[in-house]
Copies of this chain bind each other. A is one copy, B any other.
Amino acid sequence: MPKVLVFGTGSLGTCYAWALSKAVGQDNVTAICRSNYEAASRNGFTVHSTLWGDNLTFQPRIARSVAEAVRQLSLDTQQFFDFVVVAAKAVPTDPSIAEIIGPAIVKGKTAIVLLQNGIGIEDEYARLYPESPLLSTVAYFPATQVSPGVVHHKEVELLHVGTYPADAPQAHKNIAREFVELLGKGGATAKLHDDIQRKRWAKLLVNSSWNPICALTRLRDREFIEVSLDLGLGAGNDKWGDGARFIKDVMMEIASVAQAYGYSDVNEETVDFQIGRAVVRDLPGVQPSMLGDAFEKRSMEVDAIVGNVVRLARKKGVNVPMLRTIYLLANGLSESFSRKKLQG
């Protein structure tokens, strides 16, 4: 059976650790825990899912660090991980996550799976581990860790999977297929894609706009639309008002970057579809993860989700003044949280 290391057991990491435990057996899964280490060591994990079932408990191996996870393999027949799944939040750390997982990566044997939001997040892994198969994923998976080791999940579960880069060797493509099949065996829905970046851009349309906008305004998506209906900016008589027009213009900037990179199916049609989803929600609407981070004064995935889009735009000479503004502001807000901690 393949062995799996899951780095980061927030809501997403925990749920996919459950599916992988079902597929390969929980003894072949090691979860790296930080704040939920005590709880997970004592009680394992519990997932309550409207799709997978209620009260799903499992007890994988638990480690505090990658070194500890590797040590735990020393008496096993197979002393390396086949998959290292990175499910931690994509925020800059020192050392970086890519560096931290180093001890668990065995050249030619270990594949790395990135279960993270954003764009351009694969670069550092590809640079540090050029020979390791690198899988990039896009998750549609609304879940919340309600207490240490206990996760609620609802509505949808879908993981898009593909190699990085899209033109990786066939051997890597095969490993992507293997990973998708493992998840299927574990009861999760995963789809294999030849070019996963297309899916990343499609998700960014929503993520790079709503996430920072909600975090900066401290409003949920539908609330933002509501308080911005008529600001005298010309769309007050439109069906959805000045706020929705603003969101559309921001999304169109993101789409223009996607198009500059060849993803022409991220366009006005998909933008309108995404706006349409938000405006018909009941008040107060959805709370994007970054808004939750802002309320808790946790650092936010600003670079992965917004900054990289602005930098990619710059490389292609695409003008994104609104997104650049949002980036500088969201970066400042996120930095204010760490400054508070430093000062306090």
A327 CB-CB contact with B under 8 Å: yes
Is the Cβ of A232 less than 8 Å from the Cβ of B307?
A: yes
Q: With a CB–CB cut-off of 8 A, which chain B residues contact A335?
A: 217, 219, 227
Q: Determine whether A132 belongs to the interface, using a CB cutoff of 8 Å to chain B.
A: no
CA–CA, A223 to B246, complex, Å? Answer: 28
Complex interface bits, A193-227 against B, C-beta within 8 A gives 1, otherwise 0 = 00000000000000000000100111100011001
Question: Is A115's CB within 8 Å of the partner chain B?
Answer: no
A339 and B219 form a contact (CB under 8 A): yes
Q: Of residues A234, A246, A329, A331, which shows the largest number of chain B Cβ atoms within 10 Å of its Cβ?
A: A329
Contacts of A127-157 to chain B: CB distance below 8 A: none
Query: Which of B218, B219, B327 is within 8 Å of A231, CB to CB?
Result: B327
Chain A interface helix/strand/loop/mixed: helix
Q: Which residues does chain B contribute within 8 Å of A227, judged by CB atoms?
A: 331-332, 335-336, 339
Q: Are B228 and A324 in contact (CB under 8 A)?
A: no
A223-B339, A233-B314, A234-B314 in contact; A328/B243 too (CB < 8 A)? yes
Given A219-B339, A246-B325, A326-B325, also A232-B311 (CB < 8 A):
yes
CA–CA, A331 and B227, complex, Å: 8
Q: Is A329 a contact partner of B232 (Cβ separation < 8 A)?
A: no
The reply to whether the CB of A310 lies closer than 8 angstroms to some CB of chain B is yes
Q: In whole angstroms, what is the CA distance A223 to B332 when docked?
A: 9
**B residues in contact with A232, CB < 8 Å:** 307, 311, 314
Q: Bound state CA distance, A321 and B233, in angstroms?
A: 12
Q: Is there an interface contact between B216 and A329, defined as CB atoms closer than 8 Å?
A: yes
> Can you name the residue of chain B whose Cβ is closest to the Cβ of A246?
B328
Chain B residue numbers with a CB within 8 Å of A243 are 328, 332
Residues A242 and B328 in contact, CB atoms below 8 Å apart: yes
User: Can you report 10 residue pairs joining A to B where beta carbons are below 8 Å apart?
Assistant: A217-B329, A217-B332, A218-B336, A227-B339, A231-B327, A233-B310, A233-B324, A246-B325, A249-B321, A321-B321
* Any B CB within 8 A of the CB of A70: no
- For the complex, is A279 an interface residue (Cβ under 8 Å from B)? no
